[in-house]
Every structure is written in C-alpha cells, then in structure tokens.
Amino acid sequence: MRQERDYAQQLQREGKWIHLWRIVGEYSNYSVFDVDSNDELHAILSNLPLFTYMEVHVTPLAVHPSDIHQSAST
Ligand SMILES: O=C(O)CC1=CCC(=O)O1
C-alpha cells in the first residue's frame, strides 16, 4: 500500500496522474492520466504494485470544443 501511494504521488508530481478520486462506498477510484500514448499508460498501470489484483477499465478522452479551460479548442 505504501509503495502504491508513493508511486501514485510521484506520477501526480510529474503531471501524469492528474486526477485521483475515491468512488464513494467502494475501494475503487476514478483516475485521469495525461499521457502521450497507450503504451505509456500501460507502462504506468502495469507498474502499479497492485496491478495484478486490479480490474482496470480505460476510457480514452479527447478535448471537448466547448470546454473553456482547454486552449486547444477551435
Ligand atoms: O486506493 C486505491 O484506490 C488504490 C490506489 C491507487 C493509488 C493509490 O495510492 O491507491
């Protein structure tokens, strides 16, 4: 658990793991990663100490053109 936390917090400091939320009433989380590729995300996830025991669902996200916080919008 300590290794999991240290690894997660290091990735947050690096700007790769940009959101980490607890799902209320569950030992689960919703996380948002900012990565350059599927391969990078897989490397991050598979290096989690608890990866072998996790059920992971990945939903790729793109910038929404109406999001006022994103400068990439057109
Ligand atoms: O508590 C969890 O949901 C699992 C976890 C991910 C990063 C961390 O520190 O714990």
Q: What is the pLDDT of residues 49-59, one digit of tens each?
A: 999 999 999 99
First CA to last CA distance, the chain: 43
Q: Does any ligand 1 atom lie closer than 6 A to the CB of residue 6?
A: no
- Sequence ranges of the domains in the chain: 2-53
**β-pairing verdict for 17-22 and 29-33:** antiparallel
pLDDT reported for residue 71: 66
Vertex 49, ends 25 and 14: CA angle to 5°? 90
pLDDT tens-digit readout, 26-45: 999 999 999 999 999 999 99
Q: Does any ligand 1 atom lie closer than 6 A to the CB of residue 4?
A: yes
Please determine, for residue 17, whether its predicted confidence score (pLDDT) is greater than 70: yes
Q: Does any ligand 1 atom lie closer than 6 A to the CB of residue 10?
A: no
pTM attached to this predicted model: 0.89
How many angstroms is it from 48 CA to the middle of ligand 1? 9
Higher pLDDT, 61 or 71: 61
Q: What is the CATH number of domain 2-53?
A: 3.30.70.1060
| E strand map for 1-74 | 17-22, 29-33
Residue 17 and residue 32: Cα distance in Å, rounded?
A: 6
pLDDT reported for residue 72: 53
Q: Does any ligand 1 atom lie closer than 6 A to the CB of residue 35?
A: no
